Structure 1
Amino acid sequence: MRRDDILRIGGFIVLLALLAVWELASETQLVNPVYLPPITRIGAAFARLTENGELARQILGSASRFVAGYAVAVALGIVIGVAMGYFRAGYLLLEPVVELLRPLPPPAIIPLAILLLGIEDRMKIFVIAFGCFFPVVVNAIQGVAGVDRVLFDTALTFRLSTREILWKIVLPAASPSIVAGMRISLAVALILTVIAEMVASNNGIGFFILDTERAFRITDMYAGIFTLMVVGYALNRIFVAFEGRALAWYFGQSRQERT
């Protein structure tokens, strides 16, 4: 067995140990079991909510907002980022706007978004897209700026058009940086989905967590939180698998350079 495999198993053992400590501390009332119920009770709540379909309904309610906001951010981020990175005029025109808006915490625009868009899904999608846009656009700019100049010289030698240069040279060369920005934005999208639902929604996993807390259904609240953790972990693993396949050439090249 490889060392990495052993360490991964060790990581799961550490997680199980932490859950066991939680269970023991709650059962022996070292902590207040009302506010930190035993893991077994949370598991029972999770099973009940899964069986009656409540968790599935809330996750599906969040999924459409999450996917729409993330997709809009990725599409706009790549297009605008590549344009800013490749065309000097594009950079000079858009850089002040991007740098002015980038430090603004996305939750701070929720009140404005509610005023302009109401409390429907379009408001939540806008907030998600706003927060996810900047990691993608910044990484796209950096990725394009880091393209080897020799590639551009080669393109000019073969008289490639601007469209061909962007499609055949710039995008492939900048893709590792762009994908890194997409991965960052994936976590941001999940966070903002939950925040937006807590502020203004009547469904979704964020709403469910806040609603169960207000109703003092503490085990249900924890079940929602754990569900969110599992969803986040699964999304990250899926994206890592996609990244490994899409950028297999890049990771192979990196390994060769290290050896």
Structure 2
Amino acid sequence: MITRTVVMRAVRTVVFTLALPCLLVAVWWVASDSSTSVYAPPLRTILSRFDDVWTADRIRGDVVPSLLRLAAGYASAAVAGVVLGVGIGLSRTARAVCEPALEFLRAVPPPVLVPVIMLFAGIGDTMKIAVIASGCVWPVLLNTVAGVRAVDPVATETARAYGVRGAAWLRSLVLPSASPQIFTGLRQALSIGVILMVISEMFAASNGLGYAVVQFQRGFAIPEMWTGILVLGLLGVVLALLFTLVERRALAWYHRSRGARRKAGSGGA
């Protein structure tokens, strides 16, 4: 049975979540209402072009390909980052050997690598996926290494005492203990992936959200260009919400333990 407290808490959460976006939209609407600038049209003009620009055909032709590239690059980076991160995190020798190279590669901005990746992967979807993966892999990798290194040594010794080793040890102790850090890296990688998705589609592309925004800009279709920017922002919000739902489900045990510790601490105080 849903109690009044739960309902009020849900309403308060929705209000707090929507208050700032609604305020920003209202400020933008009022501030731009009398604008005569070609490059900064009124918000009402931008919104009036949405139905004409983002039709079902354009969504299939630009939004869907972008999402597929993002999914492929993000998934590749997630798998590679977790696998390499676990291996490096478990071995002191591997960390000593790999750390200088990792610091060097992490410092190279992924957009700078676009021309290099184009030389080896061409200008098709493979290049765009590689660009996304090359930027997303680092937060996942480094957070996985940090999470694996932070595994409780007492729990490790206890597992060894009970004969828990190999794959069972990784599955039952290392990965669950490191999973909060891993999800932190995955969250950071998601925002980086959206940025690199757009950047990669601005180079020799024939479709995608980044391609559409550039084409609108080159054709001086400024309101249409702004609609593309808004679509990218809304896409980022939707992806962040979906990620939050997945994270809460996957780390439900972690959030419950944190909540229990907070209650115990407040009760003791």
Shift in Å, 1:16: 3.0
What's the counterpart of residue 244 of structure 2?
240
Instruction: Return the TM-score normalized by structure 2.
Output: 0.89
Letter of the 1:26 counterpart: S
- Which residue of 1 is the match for residue 207 of structure 2? 203
Among candidates 121, 144, 150, match of residue 140 of structure 1: 144
Aligned residues: 257
Contact 1:50 1:56 in 2 (8 A): no
Letter in 1 for 2:29: E
Q: TM-score, normalised by structure 1?
A: 0.92
Query: What amino acid is the match of 2:27?
Result: V
After superposing on structure 2, the runs of 4+ consecutive aligned residues of structure 1 that deviate more than 6 Å are none
Q: CA deviation at 1:243?
A: 0.4
Shift of 1:204: 0.4
2:15 match: 9
Matched, 1:95 2:99: yes
The runs of 5 or more residues in structure 1 that have no matched partner are none
Q: Which amino acid in structure 2 is aligned with residue 72 of structure 1?
A: S
2:123 to 119, 123, 142: 119
SS of residue in 2 equivalent to 1:224:
helix
Residues 88-97 or 142-151, more deviating: 88-97
Give the structure 1 partner of residue 3 of structure 2: none
Q: Which runs of 5+ in 2 are unaligned?
A: 1-6, 264-269
Instruction: Give the deviation of 1:36 after TM superposition.
Output: 1.6
Q: CA RMSD in A?
A: 1.8
Alignment identity in percent?
A: 37
Q: Does residue 80 of the first structure (1) align with residue 84 of the second (2)? A: yes
Asked whether the 8 Å contact 1:55–1:224 carries over to 2, the reply is no
Question: What is the alpha-carbon distance in structure 2 between the residues aligned to residue 139 and residue 200 of structure 1?
Answer: 33
Q: Take 1:7 and 1:237, find their aligned partners in 2: how far apart are those partners?
A: 14
1:190 aligns with 2:198: no
Give, in angstroms, the shift of residue 48 of structure 1: 1.4
Provide Cα deviations, 1:200-221, integer angstroms capped at 9, x if missing partner. 3121001111110110111111
Question: Post-superposition shift, 1:113?
Answer: 1.0
